[in-house]
Amino acid sequence: MPRETAVHEPHEHVFIPQHRHHFETEEQQREAGSFGMWLFLLTEIMFFGGLFFAYLLYRNWYYDAFVPASNFLSVTLGGTNTAILITSGFCMALAVWAAEVRKKQFLVIALILTTVFGLAFIGIKYVEWHDEWEHHHVPGAGFDISEFVSPNAHGITDQKAIPPDMAQHCQIFFFLYFAMTGMHALHMIIGIGLLVWLILRAQRGDFTAGYVAPIENFGLYWHFVDIVWLFLFPLLYLINRHPLK
């Protein structure tokens, strides 16, 4: 069969040094890389999905335990962390722009800022976790339900007292809290490690000569981790902030 739609255009193919030879063109390589990263993010959606379902189920079953447990978390810290992570995402987006318009110093600064805000997030997370540890809210043998059973005795005036068997289920809330924020933090830490590597390579000029794929694809990963937190914050921190009404 003749190839009716064939055209023959003479022009140059300038290949960047990072061109892989099983790809015919830059565009193909770039598209494939981006598509591959998105598929990986799909696996992450499904991975977190299991945890989100467990949360959905137990919040429904043990709403009366989830409310005081959630109210124990600090909205100030959680909200600040949300703002910090959004800022980190903004810096990452700027980094992608910088790589595309080939501004090396801007790229390096943007990546550094992304990392700094990411570390700030982890820092605040640590403070929160430490706080929960101090109050014996880490699930396991040391879990203490007294704050939930008799809040007034602990100086808490805006919570209802709940019966001891329901208070036991606060442990499930805290398990989901630690599992979900922990899994999220793990992804952030891996991301920060990758950022350090990217900063070093960006400083060398690897990403401002036409090869932007690692920055773009890392950006996708980082924004995804951000999106997970955008859901975790209201679900974990803002369950019912006025239980006595």
- Window 67 to 86, contacts with another protein (CB under 8 A): 75, 79, 82-83, 86
Contact, 89 vs 223, CB < 8 A? yes
Nearer to another protein, 63 or 126 (CB): 63
Least distance from C-beta 126 to another protein, angstroms?
A: 19
Residue 200 host element (H or E): helix 170-203
State the Cα–Cα distance between residues 136 and 157, nearest whole angstrom.
19
Q: Which is nearer to another protein, 60 or 152 (CB)?
A: 60
Cα→Cα distances 184→56, 130, 180, Å: 17, 17, 6
| Contact pick of 116, 120, 156, 179 for another protein (by CB under 8 A) | 179
Q: How far apart are the first and last CA of the chain?
A: 77
Contact with another protein (CB under 8 A) among 14, 17, 46, 134: 46
Considering CB under 8 A, how many residues would be counted as binding another protein? 87
In whole angstroms, the minimum distance from the beta carbon of 66 to another protein comes to: 11
d(CA 178, CA 190): 18
Q: Verify binding: residue 14, another protein, rule CB under 8 A.
A: no
Contact residue for another protein among 67, 69, 73, 94 (CB under 8 A): 94
Contact between 227 and another protein by CB under 8 A: the answer reads yes
Q: Cα Rg for the chain, rounded, in angstroms?
A: 24
Give yes or no for residue 93 binding another protein (CB under 8 A): yes
Q: Which of 14, 60, 134, 142 binds another protein (CB under 8 A)?
A: 60
CA–CA separation, 51 and 61 (whole Å): 15
Interaction residues for another protein, span 191-220 (CB under 8 A): 216, 219-220
8 A C-beta contact, residue 188 and residue 118: yes
User: Which 131-170 residues touch another protein, going by CB under 8 A?
Assistant: 139-140, 168-169
Measure the CA–CA gap between 14 and 23, rounded to whole angstroms. Answer: 13
